[in-house]
Chain A
Amino acid sequence: MNNVIEVKNLVKEYKELKAIDNLSFEVHEGEILGLLGPNGSGKSTTINCVLSLLKTSKGSIKIFGEEMKPDSYEIKRKIGVIFQDVAVFDELTVYQNIDYFCGLYIQDKVTRKKYVQDAIELVGLQDFVKFYPKKLSGGLLRRLNIACGIAHKPKLIFLDEPTVAVDPQSRNNILDGIKKLRNDGATIVYTTHYMEEVEILCDRVIILDKGKILAQGTTEEVKELAKIDEKVTVEVNNLDSSYIEKIKQNSNVDEVTYTDGVLLVKYKEGKNNLVDMVEFLKKENIKYNKINSEKPTLNDVFLELTGKELRD
């Protein structure tokens, strides 16, 4: 498998602060790699270093097998970047914005026109081409931001939290577009703190915190790092603490909490736990509203690894 990006021992320091601490990873051709981490974990700094926008303190960065430098124009030609903050011209229409940024990569007008149209269709902005950005909703603006970054059909795409503060319709549209880009052959580095997006999209994930890699692998591999195997949640009113003690006596139970009418039981192994719980409730004659079981999420893994929620 070819590596599109190879980062070795990357360090980025701001005076006393180590924003990136000896980071090494690869991105394989054709995959979507998710960079997961809370705000300030070093996701955007990593991307800015890889793109040669930021000075690095140590380490090496190769893209398409060559060292990445500010004047690596041939490498840059194959890269598309969608930054976290929307970066478009308020004075230009949707079409003009995409055409302008595409024009920084594609000189030929005929090719560019086709590429711009393709990008507009990909993000679903056909009905808004003559609109100015200020007339667009937050979701449509995000879609425009993406179109500006990928119109030149790059082979490697960096998407830095592209779905922050967008409506569900736009989010679905954006996620569908990203899948299509991957299906068309692009390699994608996707940073987010929405774990559900990572689970839907990414082939592999890297979990970052304080500039360090805490875990990496496929989503399944990373989830296996969790101590728990299943979570059972029961909505039940006025549960006596004696019942909680009884549940804890089960050797397969790792942790039990009861907060705001929700009983959460975490199991070390995942066999018949839901059935056992239903039977227990029936036997003790406890009335409940809803019961469900789920496998651990990446957020659970993150919580275990760092002691904090992914969205903190």
Chain B
Amino acid sequence: MFLHNFKYSLKTLFKNKMLIFWTFAFPIILGTFFNMAFADVINKEKLSIIDIAIIDNEDYQNNKIFKTAFESLSDENSEDQMFNTKLLDEEKAKEMLNKEEIVGYLKMQGNDPKLVFQKNGVNQTIFKYVVEEIVQRSSIVENISKDEIKKQIEQGNFAVDAESIVKRVINETSNTEIEFENTANKNLNYMMIEFYTLIAMTCLYGGILGMVAINQTLPNMSNKGKRVAVAPTKKGTIILSSLLAGYVAQLLGLVILFAYTIFALKVDYGEHTGLVILLAMIGSLTGLSMGVAVGTLSKKSEGAKSGILIAITMTGCFFAGMMGVTLKYVIDKGMPIINKINPANMITDGFYSLYYYNTLDRFWFNVASLGVLCVVLITISFLSLRRQKYDSI
């Protein structure tokens, strides 16, 4: 029964023109459009060193971790120089920012970094992420460095070179220096975020597949559902096999999209192929779960439900940066909760973290968030699907 329904579910999915368009054709069309629209922008952004300023105050000079990190990232003799950093007073930094000679400046207030930008963009984002990364690692570095200094003092070495210890700890613990250098090497471009959101969109469009599968098995949703409900088959078997077919169709859509973007559009997704696939798979599962939830909970027509799912997906992708990366950062900054629960952003951010960071903490956080969202949506749907008789059909 499972295989019988699975086989025919696949046949119906692959012959459904609307599903084929949204799952297979639309992402490819959009990808081609992005490629055409952003090609010039990429070339301009390639390997650019970012002009920044740091307020040369006592707090900065005393913060060994920040000082060491930015010295390293601003080393003119390094091939991997990321920033062109000027140490200025605040007045001069403001003046340069107004003239757009720098993208922003950093001011240390105690141990807290304060970033000042005049507008949002990729360079500002990179600056912001680097600072966030340093903050995240500061406490680890600080603790280890303190222990190291204490150890040396206990061993009788009272002339401790704190700066060299901090520098070494940074290298030993988190490989931060190397990480930033690698990042600078990468082809930082707007288009990558667009492609990440494109994949997120493809994953979430799987919701339509999930919704259709549910609609065709419930008697209160479709005439075909009535027919299935009077047959001697368990509802769970039919639903699971239909959803599996939907998942397979969706993964195939992703394979086609990846193949098209890699081979035809020459998009570089980085080195973590396995993790990219994992994220796409769990993203697809989230999309499918979203469709199951909408299919189960809403009593509207199939067309209306498709509209709901398309609207959710497009809005999510929009907030995640599909139509311009600026909005993503405006939302990240002003209303972070939106992107925290936005599955499109979880997927996009997961890819982003794979591409720009060597550590996988942020990636796994996004994977876990998607997993939790899946569980929540499936649980809600399951509770509704348990009923076997209906008040009206």
- Measured CB to CB, the residues of A under 8 A from B are 14, 48, 51-55, 70-71, 73-74, 76-77, 79, 81, 83, 85-89, 91-92, 96, 100-101, 103-105, 107, 148-149
CB pair B226–A83 under 8 Å, yes or no, is: yes
Identity of the chain B residue whose Cβ is nearest the Cβ of A89 in the assembled complex: B12
Contacts of A71 in B (CB 8 A): 388
CB pair B232–A74 under 8 Å, yes or no, is: yes
Interface centre among A48, A79, A88, A104 (most CB of B within 10 A): A104
CB pair A149–B224 under 8 Å, yes or no, is: no
A131→B253 CA distance, assembly (Å): 28
CB pair B390–A55 under 8 Å, yes or no, is: yes
* Least Cβ–Cβ distance between A104 and chain B, in angstroms: 4
CB pair A85–B223 under 8 Å, yes or no, is: yes
Known: A71-B388, A100-B8, A107-B1. A53 touches B230 (CB 8 A): yes
* Cβ < 8 Å to A, chain B residues 4-45: 4-5, 8, 11-13, 15-16
* Least Cβ–Cβ distance between B61 and chain A, in angstroms: 70
Q: Which of A53, A74, A79, A87 contacts B224 (CB 8 A)?
A: A87
A88→B230 CA distance, assembly (Å): 15
A49→B186 CA distance, assembly (Å): 65
Q: Which of A14, A86, A91, A104 contacts B12 (CB 8 A)?
A: A91
Contacts of A88 in B (CB 8 A): 224
Q: Is B264 an interface residue (CB 8 A)?
A: no
CB pair A14–B393 under 8 Å, yes or no, is: no
A48→B391 CA distance, assembly (Å): 11
A300→B390 CA distance, assembly (Å): 36
CB pair B16–A91 under 8 Å, yes or no, is: yes
* Interface residue count on the B side (C-beta < 8 Å): 27
* Least Cβ–Cβ distance between B212 and chain A, in angstroms: 11
Identity of the chain B residue whose Cβ is nearest the Cβ of A86 in the assembled complex: B223
Q: Is B77 an interface residue (CB 8 A)?
A: no
* Least Cβ–Cβ distance between B6 and chain A, in angstroms: 11
CB pair A87–B392 under 8 Å, yes or no, is: no
Identity of the chain B residue whose Cβ is nearest the Cβ of A76 in the assembled complex: B232
Known: A53-B226, A86-B223, A96-B8. A70 touches B388 (CB 8 A): yes
Contacts of A101 in B (CB 8 A): 227, 231
Known: A53-B390, A100-B8, A107-B1. A77 touches B227 (CB 8 A): no
* Least Cβ–Cβ distance between B261 and chain A, in angstroms: 28
Contacts of A89 in B (CB 8 A): 8, 12, 224
A48→B223 CA distance, assembly (Å): 12
CB pair B389–A55 under 8 Å, yes or no, is: yes
Known: A54-B393, A83-B226. 15 other contacts (CB 8 A): A14-B392, A52-B388, A53-B226, A53-B230, A53-B389, A54-B389, A55-B390, A87-B226, A87-B227, A89-B12, A91-B13, A91-B16, A104-B1, A104-B228, A104-B233
CB pair B232–A81 under 8 Å, yes or no, is: no
